[in-house]
Amino acid sequence: MSQAHWLQLPLVLLAAAVLAVPLARYLRLGAILGYLVAGLAVGPAVLGLVPESTAIPEVAELGVVLMLFLVGLELEPKRLWAMRRPIFGWGSVQLLGCAAVLTAVGIATGHPWRLSLVVGLGLAMSSTAVALAVMAERNLGRTTAGESILSVALLQDIAAIPVLALVPVLALSGAHDDGDGRTWLAAAKAVGAIVTIIFGGRLLLRPALRWIAHSKTPEIFTAAALLLVLGTAALMQLVGLSMALGAFLAGVLLAESEYRRELETDLEPFKGLLLGLFFIAVGMGLDLKAVAARPGFVAAVLAALLACKIFVLVLMSRAMKIPLVERPAFVILLAQGGEFGFVVFQLAQGEGMIDAAQNSALVAAIALSLALTPLLLTGGDRLMSQKLARLGRQRKREEAPPPPAPILIAGSGRYGQVIGRLLRASGLHATVLDHDAEAIESLRRFGWTVHYGDATRLDLLKSAGAASARILVIAIDDIGQSVELATLAREHFPQLAIVARARNVQHYYQLRELGVSHIERETFESALLSARSVLELTGVEPHAARRQALRFRRHNLELLETMVPLQRDESALIAAAKLGLQQFDQLIAAERAAEEGHRRAQRAGWDRQDGAPAP
């Protein structure tokens, strides 16, 4: 491949992503659909700027591998062991249930049962990449739906080897004669690889990373992190297992290690870049010619895929008692096809079970289901909002509407909960707004007035009574949403007094620019208390430690206020900060000298009273 082509390829991909993704975000369609459209546009089906011979799909699969490794880092072995029942229980229900329904549809439409079973298993798989990317985008990782999606995705990765081993067994070309032997051999290789990763990880990984960390070369530690992920992925691929499963196991083994945060920080940029490349590759793989040649067949496969899986997943969501507001995400993120289906159908074509035209049509149906996922999620959110609104109106008709709360609390995390509990203990009523379904349901059981949704939505603020409230407490964790909410409140509800939580100094400056005066930095007060404890442990009298901490607090707040107008002038800001620190050091030094002189004078007085000579 020529040097010019290697330069042209990244230029084309980056330009397509830079144009398509922000546009998709602006239209509220999500970044994933932007990547898919970008890949479709530059691929061979539309503009043809990227030839079919490139190895982009193989490279892009590393994005999924890195993502599963980082997910594994968040799951300690104890937590993973606690999830064994949903993984093998509900995960098996999803895979086998969807495969059974899709197989039954295939048989009912006149196709052989072997072919129907292979196609059903291929379509029953979901896209781990899309599901986890959307979960991260919507902050669903710790919710009931998020953990359920992760359980199902892990079972699908584990089931990869038996499904791939089953395809030649079911093939009509006679491969079933020696299929049993190959199946046992593949299973033995898979077990051996998993055991190698588990025991090798426990015995070798930590000492190796410790040795590399002692070299104090950050780029080598990053290279070691990449080598670890790629090595485990290559081992799993060698035995025919999912590369993502191997990376996930390696992540779990390191979840309790001291290198967890460093690994996350080093690999995060690679994950985002390669995931975007993965979705672009999926878009490029969408064969519009296959869709145009057999549009009815592709549409039928797509409809059967979505309808059958949604049917099974809706029943599962009810049986699993997933909160109502989280069910659309659970159902839709698992209803789409997955990248593993591409592998199954490619193998089925190699075994002679399907021809090239059928393979293209099936792959096109999966790619279309991936492209439709963001749109289905948007539609599901709207339907759920309408349903919740109807339930709310019905509840209002059945119950006497409570008077509007004088206080609104946006965010029911640890910060917001402490505020709410103190207000409630003081006899004050507050209305809570949050997008965490489990937290909302828990607060409702304790008698709180709660509203589910994004607090930065104007319609939600109005329905929560912002027009008649007196105080808005902004306890949102995300800095961008916090500033956006403060801006919205200042513009539409000027009567609200805003009490805000600031994550850091920059967040404080942004809120002060909006005119918010009641701001508390979330770790400042607790850090002062810890500093007082340290001073007392070093021998400083408790009253002196308290006085120094209060003086530091007052000086820091005064310095912060003087720096608010200077925040856009970096040189003036740094000069003011240095001057403030110098002044405070001089103040404390003068106080220490005065206290020392006072103590000496006291000792001199005591010595004279005792008849001893003064020092």
Q: Do 275 and 133 form a contact (C-beta atoms < 8 A)?
A: yes
Tell me, what's the pLDDT at 11?
A: 82
How are the residues of the chain apportioned to helix, strand and coil, as percentages rounded to the nearest 5? 75, 5, 20
81 or 402, which is more confident? 81
Distance CA 272, CA 137 (A): 12
203: pLDDT strictly greater than 50: yes
Q: How far apart are CA 504 and CA 486, in angstroms?
A: 16
Judge whether residue 331 has pLDDT over 70. Answer: yes
Q: How far apart, in whole angstroms, are the C-alpha atoms of residue 587 and residue 578?
A: 14
Give 354 or 299, the one with higher predicted confidence: 299
100 pLDDT more than 80 = yes
pTM exceeds 0.85 for this model: no
Burial class (CB in 10 A: 0-12, 13-18, 19+), 142: exposed
**Looking at the predicted structure, is the pLDDT value of residue 54 above 70?**
no
Instruction: Work out the mean pLDDT of the chain and round it to a whole number.
Output: 75
Q: Round to whole Å and give the CA distance between 70 and 271.
A: 9
Alpha carbon distances (Å) from 83 to 90, 155, 191, 197, 314: 10, 11, 20, 20, 21
Cα–Cα distance measured from residue 345 to residue 298, given in angstroms and rounded to the nearest whole number: 14
> Do the Cβ atoms of 411 and 434 come closer than 8 Å?
yes
Supply the Cα-derived Rg of the chain in whole angstroms.
30
Residues constituting the chain: 615
Task: Provide the residue ranges of all domains of the chain, joining segments of one domain with +.
Answer: 83-187+260-387, 404-522, 536-615
Can you name the residues that pair with 519 across neighbouring β-strands? Answer: 500
DSSP 208: H
Does the pLDDT of residue 380 top 80, yes or no?
A: no
Taking CA atoms, 415 is separated from 152, 325, 383, 442, 498, in Å, by: 33, 23, 31, 16, 15
Other CB atoms within 10 Å distance of the CB of residue 537: 9
**Residue 532 has which token pair?**
């007082």
Residue range 512-562, pLDDT digits in tens: 888 888 888 877 888 888 888 888 888 888 888 888 888 888 877 777 777
Q: Which amino acid is at 288?
A: L
pLDDT, residue 174, reads 43
Cα of 530 vs its chain's centroid, Å: 32
More confident residue, 258 or 117: 117
Lowest mean pLDDT among 193-207, 541-555, 564-578: 564-578
pLDDT of amino acid 581: 63
Higher pLDDT, 28 or 13: 13
Rounded CA-CA distance 84/68 in Å is 17
- Tens-place pLDDT, residues 415-427: 888 888 888 877 7
Map tokens 């042209």 to a residue.
Answer: 8
Q: Which of the listed ranges 31-40, 75-84, 603-612 does the model predict with the highest average pLDDT?
A: 31-40
> Does the pLDDT of residue 466 top 80, yes or no?
yes
What is the DSSP annotation of 178-196?
SHHHHHHHHHHHHHHHHHH
Given CATH 1.10.287.130, say whether it is the number of domain 404-522: no
Mean pLDDT of 441-445: 72
Give the tokens for residue 29: 């369609």
pLDDT number for residue 614: 45
pLDDT class for 403, splitting at 50, 70, 90? low
The answer to whether the CB of 129 falls within 8 A of the CB of 64 is: yes
Structure tokens at 461: 């603020």
Whether residue 126 contacts residue 336, with contact meaning beta carbons closer than 8 Å, is answered with yes
Across the beta sheet with 449-452, what order do the strands follow?
449-452, 430-434, 407-410, 471-474, 497-502, 518-521
* Cβ proximity of 335 and 237 under 8 Å: no
Tokens 């009574």 map to which residue? Answer: 465
Query: Which residue has 């508390």 as its token pair?
Result: 520
Q: Which amino acid is at 33?
A: L
Report DSSP letters for 422-484, one per residue.
HHHHTT--EEEEES-HHHHHHHHHTT-EEEES-TT-HHHHHHTTTTT-SEEEE--S-HHHHHH
Q: What backbone torsions phi and psi does residue 434 show, to the nearest 5 degrees?
A: -160, 160
The mean pLDDT value for 323-350 works out to 79
Please give the pLDDT value at position 432.
Answer: 87
Q: Which of 153-157, 339-343, 399-403, 480-484 has the highest mean pLDDT?
A: 480-484
pLDDT at 328: 83
More confident residue, 481 or 241: 481
3-class DSSP state for residue 199? helix
The stretch 70-93 carries a mean pLDDT of: 75
Residue 198 has pLDDT above 80, yes or no: no
pLDDT score recorded for residue 231 = 82
Q: What is the pLDDT of residue 555?
A: 78
Question: pLDDT > 70: what percent of the chain?
Answer: 72
Cβ atoms 511, 529 nearer than 8 A: no
Residue 401 has pLDDT above 70, yes or no: no
- The torsion angles phi and psi of 452, rounded to 5 degrees, stand at -85, 135
Tell me how far CA of residue 67 lies from CA of 30, 35, 128, 248, 249, in angstroms.
18, 17, 9, 8, 12
* pLDDT of 165 over the 70 cut: no
pLDDT at 615: 43
Q: What is the pLDDT of residue 583?
A: 64
pLDDT of 387 > 70? The answer is no
* Per-residue pLDDT at 83 exceeds 50: yes
pLDDT of residue 177: 46
Query: Do the first three CATH levels of 83-187+260-387 and 404-522 match, i.e. the same topology?
Result: no
Q: What is the mean pLDDT of residues 143-168?
A: 76
Going by C-beta distance under 8 Å and a sequence separation of 6 or more, which residues neighbour residue 329? 134, 135, 138, 140, 145, 146, 149, 377, 380
The CATH classification number of 83-187+260-387 equals 1.20.1530.20
Q: Which of 140, 161, 120 is nearest to 71 (CA)?
A: 140
- Confidence band for 181, pLDDT divided at 50, 70 and 90: low
Decide if pLDDT at 41 tops 60.
yes
State the Cα–Cα distance between residues 585 and 559, nearest whole angstrom.
13
